[in-house]
Amino acid sequence: MALKPAYLQWPENSGALRSAAFDDIYFQPQQGREESYYVFLEKNRLPERFAACGDDKGAINMNIAELGFGTGLNFLLTAQLWHRSKAHGELLYVSIEKHPIISADLRRIFSFWPDLQEYTAPLLEQYPPPMQGFYHLYFPAIRTRLMLCLGDVAEVLPEIRGKFDAWYLDGFSPAKNPDMWQEKLFPLIAARTKSGGTLATFSSAGSVRRGLEAAGFVVEKVKGFGVKRDMTVAQMPAAPVSASLKTPSLRRDKKIIVLGAGLAGASAAYACAQKGYDVTVIDRQPAAAQETSGNPVGVVYPKLTADHSPLGVYFQHGFFFTRHLATALKLPSWKPCGIVQLNVSEEMAERHRDLAACGFWPEEFMTYKEGTGMHFPLAGYLSPPELCRHLLDHPKIKTVYSRAVSFLEELEADAIIIASGYDSKKFKQMMWLPSVSVRGQVTYLKENERSRDIHQVICHDGAISPAVNGIHYAGATFHREEPAVLELRTENDAENLQKLNKYFPAPGFTAADIVGARAGYRTSMPDHLPAAGLCPDYAACVESFSDGHQGRSKKFVGKFFENIYLATGFGGQGLSGAPLAGEIIASQIAGDVLPVPESLMPYIAPERFILRDLKRGKI
């Protein structure tokens, strides 16, 4: 859903930057940085805690949560401190903001802090439009990720699953912005705080202190910054202060094996490696991205639904996740050129009108032009093989190629991630998967004078890319069939050409322009969402449902293999789905904060198909 951005009142002379909506300042004039450092970093004791993450005993990760992103100053100073501490782990900084400052205003604000440019530049490059969602902004050089959660705190905070080492409560004052300080939020904060975790806020209001105490924090009023007399600090008890300072999070010494070096496997491997794990990737092919992920060009775009369904929510999040990752990695092939989805039928045009009218998305993300179709200016294309290689080129990742694994029992690891596409169901633990194999073929077309005007991806009943080194990529076909020996089919090239000339005849391509093709098998699920997460034990789940509740209404109780995870079923949306799934799985392995709203998880959990069939009486 589109959000109302912050409306700023810029200072005159030495005045303070103000929010017009809340009639409050973002920070004290001329002292914003000093105030932020004192209130949030110093009073959460982060300098000493970050220093403890920089020893030689292994990677230690830190999770910090903030209510009120505002100008981003707290994040910038925290990232700078983390960088300077030379920590070995990953910093995850989660911030909730209902009224985000638009990027143009942020750029103006950041110009006053030129020494922070190495952090502000990648933030601006990845900064999302003002629309509800969880956005991941990557800073790979300093092992930091900003998870910017845009939306109302009362709706967003319950959706965040995971625990934090420290909290920054930095909304506008309780008198000006009471929604940010509702009494019902304090128990939610407490439930998401690690044992020994800390909290700091500029507010010294009695209602805030009482709310934190009632939620279980040990609260103290201390000296405030500058002209402010008091502020509040708090700590969650149950662990000695010294212990919480020395071990802010669990060390990451697990060994992970990933089966598959395509998009799903490479993404999961990278996410685990970024969290400090040692990862081995095994693939039966002689190199990475040799199967469906080997297409030279892939389109990165969202798959939207007017009813804000789980399908639309997942791929909206996945689209931005991949976009930001490709941007942060400085992937040479990533071209955010935008895409146009043509109205190929009146039914499609009506769907596009519904999408445009529902009010979920701002113009920066999506626009509709009657007679043409939808325009997604933030979308684009990249090379999937190049992305896989970049993800796997990590000091914590080892690759083993030309090795086929027949049984999971032959592997020794703390966790195994199955990312083998349709072959995932060849393992006995996964034979129940209702996955479907879909063959697709892409046709290569030589650039001509008229096609040089194609500067965006054109989607119809297929797609065509702008020319890459003189070649356009068109397709792909869609045929459900079991995997077989791959042979290129001239009839598939003819099908791609026929659709292209039907819906986008301007370039005038003919069969003489075909210079190559590539085919592969995608894997889809019946509900078009991926299967990502801990693998259920099929037999144990069925037994639990059938026999575990004598005389009572039957209830599904999920039973799982404790160390086997699955990432498959992305269909034609691998680029907008697989990287996010990899992060979800890595977070599950680490017991970390989930990268998506918690309410979305049942819709991508592999066990949903077992539950579905039990309810339908098919088992």
- pLDDT tier for residue 229 given thresholds of 50, 70 and 90: confident
Q: What is the pLDDT of residue 173?
A: 66
- pLDDT tier for residue 151 given thresholds of 50, 70 and 90: very high
- CA distances, 350 to each of 5, 38, 370, 375, 461 (Å): 29, 54, 10, 15, 16
**Same-domain status, 241 and 264:** no
CATH of the domain at 283: 3.50.50.60
Burial class of 99 by CB neighbour count within 10 A (0 to 12, 13 to 18, 19+): buried
Q: Which domain holds residue 152?
A: 8-246
**Same-domain status, 158 and 292:** no
Q: Is residue 360 part of a domain?
A: no
Domain end point (choices 227, 246, 265) = 246
pLDDT of 78 > 70? The answer is yes
- The model's pTM is 0.93
- Are the C-beta atoms of residues 293 and 104 closer than 8 Å to each other? no
pLDDT of 14 > 60? The answer is no
pLDDT of 249 > 60? The answer is no
- CA distances, 276 to each of 252, 256, 270, 462 (Å): 6, 11, 10, 40
**Same-domain status, 132 and 262:** no
pLDDT of 244 > 50? The answer is no
Q: What is the pLDDT of residue 101?
A: 94
Domain end point (choices 246, 279, 298) = 246
Read off the pLDDT of each residue in 96-108 and give the average, rounded to a whole number: 94
Q: What is the pLDDT of residue 587?
A: 96
**Same-domain status, 287 and 200:** no
**Same-domain status, 176 and 237:** yes
- pLDDT tier for residue 252 given thresholds of 50, 70 and 90: low
- CA distances, 476 to each of 479, 506, 514, 575 (Å): 10, 19, 14, 14
**Same-domain status, 60 and 87:** yes
Q: Is residue 444 part of a domain?
A: no
**Same-domain status, 326 and 232:** no
Q: What is the pLDDT of residue 284?
A: 96
Q: What is the pLDDT of residue 245?
A: 40
pLDDT of 251 > 60? The answer is no
Read off the pLDDT of each residue in 321-330 and give the average, rounded to a whole number: 96
pLDDT of 550 > 80? The answer is no
Q: What is the pLDDT of residue 162?
A: 96
pLDDT of 492 > 90? The answer is yes
Q: Is residue 347 part of a domain?
A: no
Q: What is the pLDDT of residue 241?
A: 44
Q: Is residue 513 part of a domain?
A: no
Which of 53-57, 339-343, 577-581 has the lowest average pLDDT? 53-57
| DSSP structure string for 357-394 | HS--S-TTT-EEETTTEEEETT-EEE-HHHHHHHHH--
Q: Is residue 3 part of a domain?
A: no
Read off the pLDDT of each residue in 220-235 and give the average, rounded to a whole number: 91
Q: Is residue 454 part of a domain?
A: no
pLDDT of 567 > 80? The answer is yes
Domain end point (choices 231, 246, 261) = 246
- Listed in order, strand segments (DSSP E) in 465-559 are 471-475, 479-480, 514-524, 531-536
Q: What is the pLDDT of residue 176?
A: 67
Percent with pLDDT over 90 in the chain: 76
Q: What pLDDT, in 10s, does the model give residues 115-149?
A: 999 999 999 999 999 999 999 999 998 989 999 99
Q: What is the pLDDT of residue 479?
A: 94
pLDDT of 51 > 80? The answer is yes
- pLDDT tier for residue 248 given thresholds of 50, 70 and 90: very low
Which of 8-17, 27-36, 522-531 has the lowest average pLDDT? 8-17
- Are the C-beta atoms of residues 24 and 172 closer than 8 Å to each other? yes
**Same-domain status, 139 and 278:** no
**Same-domain status, 144 and 260:** no
pLDDT of 532 > 80? The answer is yes
**Same-domain status, 81 and 175:** yes
pLDDT of 57 > 60? The answer is no
> What is the average pLDDT score of the chain?
91
- pLDDT tier for residue 242 given thresholds of 50, 70 and 90: very low
Q: What is the pLDDT of residue 23?
A: 67
pLDDT of 56 > 60? The answer is no
**Same-domain status, 66 and 201:** yes
pLDDT of 238 > 90? The answer is no
- pLDDT tier for residue 240 given thresholds of 50, 70 and 90: low
CATH of the domain at 43: 3.40.50.150
- pLDDT tier for residue 250 given thresholds of 50, 70 and 90: very low
Q: Is residue 367 part of a domain?
A: no
Q: What is the pLDDT of residue 13?
A: 64
Helix (H), strand (E) at residue 147:
strand 144-150
Helix (H), strand (E) at residue 415:
strand 415-418
CA 414 to chain centre: 24
Q: How many residues does the chain have?
A: 619
**Same-domain status, 74 and 173:** yes
Q: Is residue 476 part of a domain?
A: no
Upper half-sphere CA count for residue 263 (Cβ side, 13 Å) = 33
Q: What pLDDT, in 10s, does the model give residues 362-407?
A: 999 999 999 899 999 999 999 999 999 999 999 999 999 999 999 9
- pLDDT tier for residue 503 given thresholds of 50, 70 and 90: very high
pLDDT of 554 > 80? The answer is no
Domain count, the chain: 2
